[in-house]
């Protein structure tokens, strides 16, 4: 059995973004119960030199849409990075998932050897489609989803592995 470029990307991104959305729902309930300012959790970070929760969500969303668009050979829509609240971040996730749902397998399958140039650390870096997806895009996406989860957990939101994995 072979697994396609589409199967390891778009449906997985949609699934994990859905889990992230549900986790943010728990964070919203937590913030209400604790009477936190609505910008407290979005501004939270694990360590002073790390990116805040908001940026983790933005990067995860941008990564998912960027992968699908690059592999499909279409322009990547730009989303403003203006989210300040958990509700704003849920809307960002919803917009990303809506976009991802428009992709069809035939747009992405067959892109294994597609030549791509992606900025990595400010430098143009060449990749082939599969190398980009498996060695760069997927690990980067999961890094930011995991870091977002960790920030909320660190701040006391009662979430666990089941929330992270969702209904797999």
> Can you give the pLDDT of all 168 residues of the chain as single tens digits?
688 999 999 999 999 999 999 999 999 999 999 999 999 999 999 999 999 999 999 999 999 999 999 999 999 999 999 999 999 999 999 999 999 999 999 999 999 999 999 988 899 999 999 999 999 999 999 999 999 999 999 999 999 999 999 986
2 falls within a domain: no
Domain count across the chain: 1
Residues constituting the chain:
168
pTM over cut 0.85: yes
60 falls within a domain: yes
137 falls within a domain: yes
Phi, psi of 118 (to 5 degrees): -125, 140
4 falls within a domain: no
35 falls within a domain: yes
53 falls within a domain: yes
Cα–Cα nearest to 68, from 168, 138, 125, 144: 138
124 falls within a domain: yes
1 falls within a domain: no
User: What's the CATH number where 110 sits?
Assistant: 1.20.120.450
Domain that holds residue 118: 10-165
């Amino acid at each position: 059995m072979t697994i396609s470029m589409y199967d390891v990307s778009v449906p997985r991104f949609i699934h994990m973004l859905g889990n992230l959305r549900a986790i943010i729902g728990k964070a919203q309930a937590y913030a209400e119960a604790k009477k936190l300012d609505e910008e407290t959790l979005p501004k939270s970070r694990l360590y002073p030199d790390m990116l805040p929760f908001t940026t983790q969500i933005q990067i995860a969303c941008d990564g998912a849409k960027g992968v699908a668009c690059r592999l499909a050979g279409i322009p990547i829509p730009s989303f403003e990075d203006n989210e300040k609240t958990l509700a704003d971040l849920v809307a960002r996730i919803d917009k990303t998932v809506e976009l991802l749902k428009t992709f069809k397998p035939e747009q992405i399958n067959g892109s294994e050897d597609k030549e791509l140039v992606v900025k990595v650390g400010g430098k143009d870096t060449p990749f082939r489609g599969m190398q980009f997806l498996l060695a760069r895009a997927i690990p980067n996406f999961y890094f930011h989803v995991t870091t977002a989860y960790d920030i909320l957990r660190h701040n006391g939101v009662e979430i666990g592995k089941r929330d992270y994995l969702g209904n797999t």
